[in-house]
Amino acid sequence: MPSHDRWMLRLLLSGACLSVVALSSCRYDPVIAERIRKAPPEDAEGPRPEHRAGQACVDCHSTYEGAQPELAIGGTVYWQTAKGYLNGAEGVFVTINDSAGATYKACTNKSGNFFIAKSDIQGIDDLAFPLTVSVGGIKMSSLIGRERSCAGCHKLASVERIDIDPRVDPATGRSRDSAGAIIIDPEFVPKLERCGVPSDASASSSSSGGAGGAGGTAGQGGSGMMAGTGGSGPSSAMASTTGQGGAAATTASAGGMAAGSGGGNP
């Protein structure tokens, strides 16, 4: 092969390599990568709808990390014991209204997790931001502009966060840059906003859950102080959607996708 052809071939190969590197690096997001790197380890029971309560769901359940199902939005709802511990609030509706007029409902599972999968979005490809949200009938006071992981703003307390800012509330995680955990009082959730479990069962789980919170899985956000998130129960939650523009509504399918087994609050 003549020398100039060899040079041309090398040049083309180098160009192709550079293109591959450039394209693959486009997916890299240092902020999400750092959050994933710092996330506490997986629960003993492994991936299931109740896992990793309080962590940023959509960091992984997205095209970025590829965990299935891909989520449109997800988060964790808690209730607080008299001693200040956090426990997953089971059986509460989270209602999400998007800017295109669609309403979606998700039901919290045993660890308080809720989510709406991308496949649950009907008619259009995705949620239309900004969103308004209510949990157990209580409206969130601000809009959601773009964040799909509720824990992106509703951060739990952690040793690292308190080291950086001593004003972080060690119980709720509230600080100057975070609204803290999403906390509801199960006693005040109207019947229409309950789901998945009978309302009286919800009340009884409230009374027994305090102990569960204190002895529950520690280490949310690395703090190990407050966030008992209970275990994994067999029942749980799935998103429901109501149609857009007055179209027929679908209802919640509690337990529809739940795969958890065993566990449960101590």
Partner 1 sequence: MTPASKCVGVLAIAAVGGLATSCKQELSDPLSVTCASREIYVTHVSEVMERRCGTLDCHGSDFRPMRLLGRDGLRHPLEGKRTGEGVTTDGEKSANYYAICAIEPEKVAKVVSDPGGNAVNGLLLVRKGRGQEGHKGGKVFDPWDDADRCVVGWLRGDAEENVEKACKAALARLP
Contact footprint for partner 1 (CB under 8 A): 31, 129-130, 132, 139-147, 152-153, 167, 169, 174-180
CB of 160 to partner 1, least distance (A): 15
35 CB burial (10 A radius; 0-12, 13-18, 19+): middle
CB of 206 to partner 1, least distance (A): 24
CB of 83 to partner 1, least distance (A): 21
* Residue 43 backbone dihedrals phi, psi, to 5 degrees: -65, 165
Closest CA relative to residue 141, chosen from 169, 180, 108, 167: 180
Distance CA 68, CA 111 (A): 19
- The answer to whether 150 and 75 are in contact (CB under 8 A) is yes
CB of 101 to partner 1, least distance (A): 14
Q: What is the 3-state secondary structure (H, E, C) of 180-212?
A: CCEECCHHHCCHHHECCCCHHHHHHHHHHHHHH
Q: Which amino acid is at 63?
A: T
Between 1 and 31, name the residue whose CB sits nearer to partner 1: 31
Distance CA 156, CA 226 (A): 9
Between 55 and 111, name the residue whose CB sits nearer to partner 1: 55
Q: Which amino acid is at 78?
A: Y
